[in-house]
Structure 1
């Protein structure tokens, strides 16, 4: 049976400064944002809409703030408020892990609204542009979670070839759920979005596919991850991650309905 290697979370040290693998995964996410963004700008319908490489650098600055602030506040408020309110200094220890995607999503929406206002662009055109650039960054973050031995999976059948013991949890075989989420919520969603966004779509459509796709993918992969806590809706019990994914599914459906209702007004996005 596989055993989680529990690697040192510190990748290397420079004097008194320790660089954590989790932080490096976020650096990977931001670099791929720039590289994919440049590739996206070379698509004819994107270039025709006036997108330039210089936009990416400025947008990344806003996006990093949205991801870090929103992701951390989401972790604090959505998942572990009691712990963080009892240990307020831990709120700032982002290098230890603990970032909520749903919180980061809201943070990025706010950041992009500010950037769009600054540049005089429509908010949903901006969101349509960046949507395909997000999933691979998310996948990198999940790899960081695995290195930190965070987000252990639910107990699995010992016959599962990739069932894994997490020594920091117990001696039971578990699903390596961060890899599931990296592959399904990240890589698979990226492929779908990238292919869909290669052609001009109605405004809000690419954002709609992202929200719907991520919400459905995350709802599915949560079945393999140990829930942070369980929410009961009548006779049905779902995890916190599934509960937070339902609004994204609803948002995605609404955006797609509105986008294709007004598809006569297709813009390059």
Structure 2
């Protein structure tokens, strides 16, 4: 194996630092994703003549829910043995450790309460719009994982294999962060087209179903070439990420079938 034929990856995860304060690629990409999501949501709300005040409160709900849900997902699904003994570490999000499945669950919970309190519309109505931008945010977050040299795959002989030198790796590994990011970008493109170019946006749950199927099916298959994130996953036929993806895929199929069977719903100006 000619190691010079592969990509040697040793990027500093910090862009710059001033004393104890530092700006990291991961945080910057996370913020860019939410900012892009806000403007995408603004275009959607204007297109449907929805009060933009709804968007402001929704944005706050989503930021808080995503961070809390993703952190708790990591703590409960991947690191409970450690965090149960070190509860003070749970709040230290800046040390890393966010789970996309937990983030998805957090978003659903937040949207439920937001719908009851603000929009008074079905939860799936706003989820159909929110998930379009969530896919873009997820793609940027995975690029952040690449900049952190984390969550990568098993050894590969493919020419685009990455040698993650910052982690002490000496053999090329699958850059699964890029695989996931590209799959999320494709999902984003499909949902964007569905919303802006078809009437399927008015079939409640259809876009949400597409999101669940495309994002978590791709996650399920990519996990086969991803290194175990936690020691307890060693030897498992399916790892934790795959087990957590299956219910989302099934829910997505159900939502798509259900949406196609029901008549479209168009709301008037709020």
| Common fold by TM > 0.5 | yes
Distance, in Å, in 1 between the alignment partners of 2:23 and 2:74 is: 22
SS at match of 1:165: strand
TM-score by length of 2: 0.88
The 8 Å contact of residues 200 and 266 in structure 1, kept in 2 or not, is answered as no
1:95-136 deviation line (CA, Å, top 9, x unaligned): 232211100000011111111111122211111121211111
1:216 positional shift: 1.1
Aligned to 1:3: 8
Distance, in Å, in 2 between the alignment partners of 1:122 and 1:171 is: 52
1:213 positional shift: 1.3
1:41 and 2:45 equivalent? yes
Task: Give the ranges of 4+ consecutive aligned residues of structure 1 lying more than 6 Å apart after TM superposition.
Answer: none
1:77 positional shift: 0.6
Aligned to 1:130: 130
Greater shift after overlay, 13-22 or 209-218?
13-22
SS at match of 2:159: coil
Aligned to 2:159: 161
Aligned to 1:29: 33
Aligned to 1:255: 255
The 8 Å contact of residues 214 and 248 in structure 1, kept in 2 or not, is answered as no
SS at match of 1:174: coil
What is the number of residues matched between the two proteins?
255
TM-score by length of 1: 0.88
Distance, in Å, in 1 between the alignment partners of 2:266 and 2:223 is: 35
In the alignment, structure 1 segments of 5+ residues that lack a partner are none
The 8 Å contact of residues 26 and 148 in structure 2, kept in 1 or not, is answered as yes
Computed over aligned residues only, the root mean square deviation of the Cα atoms, in angstroms, reads 1.9
Aligned to 2:204: 203
Distance, in Å, in 2 between the alignment partners of 1:238 and 1:188 is: 25
Aligned ranges 1:100-111 → 2 under 5 Å: 100-111=99-110
1:87 positional shift: 2.8
1:22-47 deviation line (CA, Å, top 9, x unaligned): 2222111110111211232344xxx1
Aligned to 1:92: 91
CA spacing shift, 1:268–1:207, aligned 2, 3 Å = farther
The 8 Å contact of residues 128 and 206 in structure 1, kept in 2 or not, is answered as yes
SS at match of 2:50: coil
The 8 Å contact of residues 204 and 255 in structure 1, kept in 2 or not, is answered as yes
Distance, in Å, in 2 between the alignment partners of 1:121 and 1:132 is: 18
Aligned to 1:192: 190
SS at match of 2:238: strand
1:238 and 2:243 equivalent? no
Greater shift after overlay, 87-96 or 11-20?
11-20
